[in-house]
Chains A and B, each alone.
Chain A
Amino acid sequence: MNELKYAVVCVDDDPYILQMLGFQLGKIINQKLTLLEYFTDPDKALEGIDELMAEKIDVIFVMVDYQMPKMTGAQLIRSLKLKYPTLNCVMLSGQANQVSVEELRSDNLLASFISKPWDEEVLFAAISPIIQAHL
């Protein structure tokens, strides 16, 4: 119970998406070692990630939606990357601003981009290399 080493964080203002995403991620993530955490509020997500980092838990990746209240996924990723430059950020979005996404890409801030609605295989193909690289 205390061998918790890793975490995966999902941020989306739609709880249904988090539910679906969680189920799928649960299939390829070793939940004995890895904490799956969800946030509907980007501010809470920032706090939560800070806590995980403080507890020396290795955050494998953060998966964020683009369009959210208060803050876009791009803004969230930029804030995270400022603090944690090596953090892997994946965007999962159906309505992303192309310009912002391109800027993230060109600034090397984006590990992967998955558009909604997504296929499980596409999701796994995008995140498997990130997980592999961590373990």
Chain B
Amino acid sequence: MNNNNFNEIVNLLNNTTECIHLLERDGTISWVNAAWKKTLGLTDKECLGMSIQDYLSDESKLKFAEIFPRLNNGESIGNITCVFLSSNNESIYLEGTSTPVMEEGIVVGSCAFFQNVTAQRKVLGELRQMTNLQDILMRIATHYINVPINDLNQIVYNSLGDIASFASADRAYIFRYDFKNKLCKNTYEWCDEGIDSQINNLQSIALSDMPYWLSKHKLGECVEIDDVELLEGQGIKSRLKLEGIKSLITLPLMDGGNVLGFVGFDLIRNRRTFSNDEKNVLKLFAQMLVNVHNRLLNALQIEKTKEELEQMNESLERQVSEKTKRNISLSKNIIEQEKMATIGEISAGIAHDLNTPLSTIKVGADNIKSIIETLFTKQITLLSANELTRILERIQTSQIEMYVGGLQLRREKTEMFQYLSENYQVESAELEKIADLLVKSRVNKEDSFFIQYILELKNRIQNLEVLYQLQMAYSQLATIKNSSDKAVKVVQDVRAFIKGETQQEKHTFNLKSNIATVLGIFNYELKKEVDLQFNVDESIELYGFEVKLFQVWSNLVKNALESMEDQEQRYLGISAEKTDTTLTVVFENNGPQIPSDVLDNMFKKFYTTKGRKSGSGLGLSIVKNITDEHDAALNVASDNERTKFIITFKT
């Protein structure tokens, strides 16, 4: 080929858009066309004589290392795609064929024709990345929605892997800043196959060792290290080098204006820079992680709150059940206490009811003592045994009268004197004394046989004196007996009334004596000008709780007495009526009419119209309680004349 021809060819080659290079066997560049130089931003001076490997990406270097032996063997190779690095370090994708250059049957080099496909590649790559990005974000986003909290860790780990693959990173991780302890800590790590895990070495890194990272992250900015080798400052560089990191990018995890930590991606096998698009995706991912983190916190808080609520619920339930139990036992206590309060309220009356018979007993004992003294010091020794026996017989068979008024005694004495003077010849003064003693000894004219016996006695006055004294003693003994019975009855009534619930069982008992027991303990109060009409048939029997019913009657009596307190005429009627199927007990009083609003409330607990005066407000609620227990109906009717409490038992 002549020189002219050669120049023409060179011209031609320089004018084509294809990138053409001529290499020697070892890859040394011997010639490049204008398109090649323009594409890679190089001049002849810069590239001629250099190795083609110097302008290839790491991956393509390997590819050329494989291609050269084949070319040198005389093989033509088509469809080569390789990545050149331009002078400004951009990746240039070239596609084409390479053929050996033969001289005298020997391969002396190679010639390659490449088309610049960088633009296409870029579009394709972007398309692929966009698709990838959408895929990944969609996948991550959908994973993060509604995953159970327990699975979140796994999802975060998986998404780190997904994103790392997208970013062609070898390791991905999340660090949390702990500003309180001025540390940061690796909390999640994903490593590609064949890459060493570092998480265990990164649990406690002093923030003071990474001021630059921290300041960038605080501003919400990424830290990018394109080439660890180019880092200044040995501390972090040596650490990163130790981990074999060539490039990395870390992005802050921002929650509002606060940085929580960062997510980062290490490149260990290859150095690489991240495009703006990639960084945007990573930023999006970082934001997603923050959202997940917040969701996790919320979920934990919700879980915690739920647990607390459940605990509170349980504890409330427990408290309620304890309180209920206590209330039940309380209400039992209250009923008991109300009973004791009733006793307390009427204790003055009970004391009076006991004091009266006790007074009688005490005075009676004194009196009998003085009678015995009188008998022995005066007359009794003068009487014969027969006389004493006769007197005793007389006393034991005679009726004992409680007391006789002076006027009556005087009248009887006059009559007796008359009788004696008509029938016996006795001196008047003595006869008067005899009449006096006979009358005082409760001997009357009809006892003529006994009078005759006395008058025929020699020491008749002494006999009459002894008779009178013994008569007195006997009548006082009878009174003592009666008074003791009265006192015993008071005590019995009170004891019956306050008797504990030993008799839990229902049984049959007499209604009249049941009510009478209560009237007994209210004896003193009822004596105060109350017209008591107690009309209950003695034959009526009732099946129920005997002791509990005391409290029904006592509250109705108490209620009636209190309502009538301010009036002069007080009426309390108690009656009972029995039919084949029912037993109705009515307590009726003439107290003031009860207003209808009071009627509506009167059986409620603690309802009282008595203000501070008296009453626990429990009385009628207890009545209601106990009648309910008997399955009995409790009704009130009140008009301006009478107030009736009507209790209807089923029989």
- Give the B-binding residues of A (Cβ under 8 A): 1, 4, 7, 13-24, 27, 31, 34-39, 67-71, 94-95, 116-120
Contact = CB atoms under 8 A, between A and B. Distances in A.
B355 interface: yes
B403 A116 contact: no
B528 A117 contact: no
Interface stretch (B357-365, B496-504, B604-612): B357-365
A20 B479 CA distance: 9
A15 B357 CA distance: 11
A39 B356 CA distance: 16
Interface residues of B, number: 37
Contact of A16 (B357, B370, B405): B357
Interface string B366-391: 11001000000000000000000000
Interface string B478-503: 01001100000000000000000000
B362 A117 contact: yes
A24 B403 contact: no
Contact of A1 (B351, B363, B432): B432
A115 to B, nearest CB: 9
Given A1-B432, A23-B472, A23-B476, A17 B406 contact: no
B363 A21 contact: yes
* Best-buried of A19, A36, A94, A118 by chain B (most CB within 10 Å): A19
A105 B471 CA distance: 39
Given A19-B479, A94-B352, A1 B359 contact: no
A17 B356 contact: yes
Name B's interface SS: helix
A67 B350 CA distance: 13
Interface in B509-541: 524, 527-529
B359 A22 contact: no
B407 A16 contact: no
Interface in B328-358: 348-349, 351-352, 355-358
A116 B356 contact: yes
B403 A22 contact: yes
Contact of A15 (B352, B363, B370, B402): B402
A95 to B, nearest CB: 4
Nearest to B479: A16
Contacts of B121: none
Contacts of A39: 405
A38 to B, nearest CB: 5
B429 to A, nearest CB: 11
A71 B406 CA distance: 24
B37 interface: no
Given A37-B407, A120-B370, A19 B476 contact: yes
B506 to A, nearest CB: 37
B410 interface: yes
A35 B360 contact: no
Contacts of B432: 1
B352 A16 contact: no
A33 to B, nearest CB: 11
7 contacts: A16-B360, A17-B360, A20-B360, A22-B403, A35-B406, A36-B406, A117-B359
A95 B417 contact: no
B529 A69 contact: yes
* Best-buried of A20, A94, A117 by chain B (most CB within 10 Å): A20
Contacts of A71: 529
Nearest to B530: A69
Contacts of A14: 356, 360
B527 A13 contact: yes
A35 B410 contact: yes
B475 interface: yes
Given A19-B476, A118-B359, A67 B405 contact: no
Name A's interface SS: mixed
B21 interface: no
B528 A69 contact: yes
A24 B405 contact: no
A120 B359 CA distance: 12
B359 A19 contact: no
A71 to B, nearest CB: 8
A1 B414 contact: yes
Contacts of A37: 405-407
Contact of A117 (B349, B363, B527): B363
B413 interface: yes
A18 B367 CA distance: 13
Contacts of A27: 370
A70 B529 contact: yes
Contacts of B472: 23
Contacts of B482: 16
A4 B410 contact: yes
A95 B355 contact: yes
A4 B411 CA distance: 12
B82 to A, nearest CB: 126
Nearest to B483: A16
Nearest to B355: A94
B417 to A, nearest CB: 7
B403 A15 contact: yes
A44 to B, nearest CB: 10
Given A31-B406, A94-B356, 13 more contacts: A1-B410, A16-B360, A16-B402, A16-B482, A18-B402, A20-B359, A24-B366, A39-B405, A67-B524, A71-B529, A117-B361, A118-B363, A120-B367
Which 8 pairs of residues, A with B, have the shortest CB-CB distance? A117-B359, A35-B406, A95-B352, A94-B355, A116-B359, A117-B362, A20-B363, A15-B402
Nearest to B348: A95
Contacts of B524: 67, 95
Nearest to A13: B527
A24 B352 contact: no
B403 to A, nearest CB: 5
B366 A120 contact: yes
Contacts of B402: 15-16, 18-19
A23 B367 contact: yes
Given A20-B367, A37-B406, A117 B358 contact: yes
A120 B364 CA distance: 10
B360 A67 contact: no
* Best-buried of B405, B413, B528 by chain A (most CB within 10 Å): B405
* Best-buried of A15, A16, A36, A71 by chain B (most CB within 10 Å): A16
A18 B362 contact: no
Nearest to A94: B355
Contacts of A95: 348-349, 351-352, 355, 524
A20 B356 CA distance: 12
* Best-buried of B349, B402, B414 by chain A (most CB within 10 Å): B402
B158 to A, nearest CB: 95
